[in-house]
Amino acid sequence: MNIKSKDRILVVAPHPDDESIGMGGVLALYKRQCDVLLLTDGRHGHSSNIDIDENKLIDKRKEEIKKAVEYANIKTLFMLEIEDRMVNANKKKLAQFNIKDYDYIFVPNRYESHIDHKVVYPIVKKMIKKQKAKAKLYEYEVWTTLRCPTDYIDITPVIEIKRKMICCHNSQLEDCDYGEKGIALSNYRGMYAHCNYAEAVTDSSCMIKCELKQKIPLEVIEFIRKIKKKVGK
């Protein structure tokens, strides 16, 4: 991946906090090149206060994401305000969003466990085709790790900004401090990127090929390489 200074980036976040957990480092690195598209109102998010009014939680989560993206100094935060867990039922609203000006689009990976996460990839993929957009589509990890990352972005210089971004979502940290767990995942990904902290992504166009390689025994792969070398391909 070679993101240039003129490239425009869109991070699609199904819920407030997904942008910080999954792509906080990228947002902090590329700042004003980035926009965030928040899909839902997050009304069904975690909260230890079971008596909290739903509308108050919606407002609180809206303020939390605004504060988080301020740390990253991104260009624009768009909010579609779809009801939480209803992205697929409102996919037309997402499909109407103009993505033609973006060079890179990051979405939650297709194997995410949450329904609002897993439906985003196929919707955005169709949007790129229908709008004839130039964007390269990449998948990131939130609650389900990537099966075969194709790229690692070194976020070591901005790891403390990412930490602060995650901590902005304090309504979600009351039951489980997943902030430190998210940082731990970045630390683990850094091992593969030969740095302290990294975020992993997968080029969506390489996913099938990558998964096939994982399933094919090494002996078979080596045999194919020898055949290709022999026939000069």
Arithmetic mean of pLDDT, 70-95: 97
Residue 4 is assigned to a structural domain of this protein: no
Q: Who has greater pLDDT, 191 or 1? A: 191
Phi-psi region of 17 (alpha: psi -120 to 50; beta: other; left: phi over 0): left
Residue 132 is assigned to a structural domain of this protein: yes
**Amino acid 37: pLDDT:** 98
Residue 48 is assigned to a structural domain of this protein: yes
Q: Please say whether the beta carbons of 121 and 139 come within 8 A.
A: yes
Residue 106 is assigned to a structural domain of this protein: yes
Residue 221 has pLDDT above 70, yes or no: no
- Is-above-0.85 flag for pTM? yes
For 141, residues 6+ apart whose C-beta sits below 8 A from its C-beta are 22, 108, 109, 112, 185, 200
What percent of the chain clears pLDDT 70, i.e. is strictly above it?
A: 90
**Amino acid 70: pLDDT:** 96
pLDDT band at residue 47 under the 50/70/90 scheme: low
> What is the domain count for the chain?
1
Residue 2 is assigned to a structural domain of this protein: no
Whole-number average pLDDT of the chain: 91
Give the domain range for residue 226. Answer: 9-231
Full DSSP string of 10-53: EEEESSTTHHHHHHHHHHHHHGGGEEEEEEE--TT---S-TT--
Residue 205 has pLDDT above 70, yes or no: yes
Residue 211 has pLDDT above 90, yes or no: no
What percent of the chain clears pLDDT 90, i.e. is strictly above it?
A: 77
**Amino acid 230: pLDDT:** 74
d(CA 30, CA 3): 9
**Amino acid 133: pLDDT:** 98
| E strands in the chain | 9-13, 34-40, 76-82, 104-108, 136-140, 151-154, 198-203
Arithmetic mean of pLDDT, 36-54: 83
Arithmetic mean of pLDDT, 44-48: 72
Arithmetic mean of pLDDT, 27-37: 98
Residue 101 is assigned to a structural domain of this protein: yes
Arithmetic mean of pLDDT, 109-117: 95
Quick one: which H or E segment has residue 226? helix 218-231
Residues 141-192: tens digit of each pLDDT:
999 999 899 999 999 999 999 999 999 999 998 877 788 889 999 999 999 9
Write the CATH number for 86. Answer: 3.40.50.10320
Quick one: which H or E segment has residue 147? none
Residue 212 has pLDDT above 90, yes or no: no
